[in-house]
């Protein structure tokens, strides 16, 4: 059995991660930390854990390193930096669900997160944890930077075509809509029921912190500097992300050829489903699962400059966070990649 610890387990992402790990056949959850809930039973915070005796404990790294070999960090941005460095020095493997090790350039991180990165050499060691793109690197990684939720939906949508010559790489627009769980569990006025119910609003236009992460990975895949227009929206639902991505084409190409490109690219991927022609991804169809559903459409009405429209749907807490983290763990420890993750979305 692999002994694991979840640091910062009282938020939505931590809760989902503990839930997945408790049902994993090759894993023992040795510790779950929470500063605000230390000493309390996990069941006191999340009623769905009534059958476990686990209790939250304080974040004492000296003690924790004696309990586990793999650490999942669900800590706030900026907080994970030193924790990852400590655990790495102690010879432990880490899957960090914060943004602290996703951005490879320390100056870019400083610019978008308003704090210096204290461990630039570790940024080079960290592997970006998107299995469909970096599986081979993840296998031997000691630090995995789990992707952000919006980036997963956009990157999986664009990965099959971003390196193709027939797209205009300077014309990419991503319009993404997310449930309120993406903002975390801390109470804040913009995410109160009366604020979000019966309302949809855009936010963080041109300044969302997932923008450099998306651009970094698109640039890496395409071998060309990529800039995108990314606009997130807050939806009156608990969970889920729907991204609609627009890309201008440099030359005419048939939709059937693009569909085949996607089908071939994801042919061996268990968690990416390219839907049949004309089918629309929906957040309800992936809720509670580790799947990403993708459809592609082609607008040919604008003359020679056709527009490719890509729609992707994920559960922001699963494929966009905890599900991907467990998928990364499975790869790192040579478990079957789908172990503990094949549950489908529940019926309405």
- Report yes or no: 126 and 143 within 8 Å, Cβ to Cβ: yes
Q: How far apart are CA 22 and CA 20, in angstroms?
A: 6
What SS3 class is residue 58? coil
The sheet carrying 307-314 orders its strands as 201-202, 229-234, 173-178, 241-248, 307-314, 292-299, 272-274
292 included as an active-site residue: no
Cα dihedral value 4, 6, 12, 17, nearest 10: -10
Residue 8 region, left (φ>0) first, then alpha (ψ -120 to 50), else beta?
left
- Report yes or no: 1 and 27 within 8 Å, Cβ to Cβ: yes
Angle at 318 between CA 312 and CA 320, to 5 degrees: 50
What is the β-pairing status of strands 229-234 and 173-178?
Answer: parallel
CA distances from 284 to 86, 100, 156, 311, 346 (A): 40, 30, 18, 14, 9
Q: Residue 10: which of 74, 81, 64 has the closest Cα?
A: 74
What SS3 class is residue 232? strand
- Report yes or no: 249 and 307 within 8 Å, Cβ to Cβ: yes
Cβ atoms within 10 Å, residue 166? 16
Structure tokens that stand for 129 in this block: 């944890």
- Report yes or no: 177 and 312 within 8 Å, Cβ to Cβ: no
74, 149, 194, 292: which is the annotated catalytic residue? 149
Catalytic residues: 149
């Amino acid at each position: 059995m692999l002994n694991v610890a979840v640091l910062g387990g009282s938020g939505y992402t931590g809760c989902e991660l503990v839930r997945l790990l408790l049902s994993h056949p090759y894993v023992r959850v040795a510790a779950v930390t929470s500063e605000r809930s230390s000493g309390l039973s996990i069941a006191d915070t999340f009623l769905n854990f009534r059958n476990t005796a686990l209790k939250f404990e304080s974040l004492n790294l000296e003690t924790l390193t004696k309990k586990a070999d793999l650490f999942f960090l669900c800590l706030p941005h900026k907080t994970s930096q030193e924790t990852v460095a400590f655990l790495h020095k102690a010879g432990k493997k880490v899957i960090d669900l914060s943004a602290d090790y996703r951005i490879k350039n320390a100056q870019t991180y400083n610019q978008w997160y308003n704090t210096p990165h204290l461990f630039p050499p570790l940024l080079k060691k960290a592997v970006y944890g998107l299995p469909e793109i970096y599986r081979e690197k993840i296998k031997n990684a000691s630090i995995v930077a789990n992707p952000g939720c919006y980036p997963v939906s956009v990157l999986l949508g664009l990965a099959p075509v971003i390196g193709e010559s027939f797209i205009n790489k300077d014309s990419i627009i991503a319009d993404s809509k997310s449930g309120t769980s993406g903002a975390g569990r801390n109470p804040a006025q913009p995410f109160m029921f009366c604020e979000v119910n019966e309302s949809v609003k855009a936010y963080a236009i041109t300044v969302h912190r997932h923008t450099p992460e998306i651009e970094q990975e698109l640039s890496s895949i395409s071998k060309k500097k990529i800039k995108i227009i990314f606009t997130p929206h807050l939806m009156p639902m608990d969970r889920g992300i729907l991204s609609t991505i627009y890309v201008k084409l440099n030359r005419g190409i048939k939709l059937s050829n693009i569909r085949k490109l996607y089908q071939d690219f994801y042919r061996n991927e268990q968690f990416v489903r390219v839907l049949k022609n004309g089918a629309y991804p929906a957040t309800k169809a992936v809720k509670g699962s580790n799947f990403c559903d993708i459809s592609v459409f082609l607008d040919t009405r604008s003359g020679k400059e056709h527009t490719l429209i890509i729609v992707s749907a994920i559960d922001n807490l699963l494929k966009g966070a905890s599900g991907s983290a467990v998928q990364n763990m499975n790869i790192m420890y040579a478990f079957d990649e789908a172990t503990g993750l094949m549950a489908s979305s529940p019926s309405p």
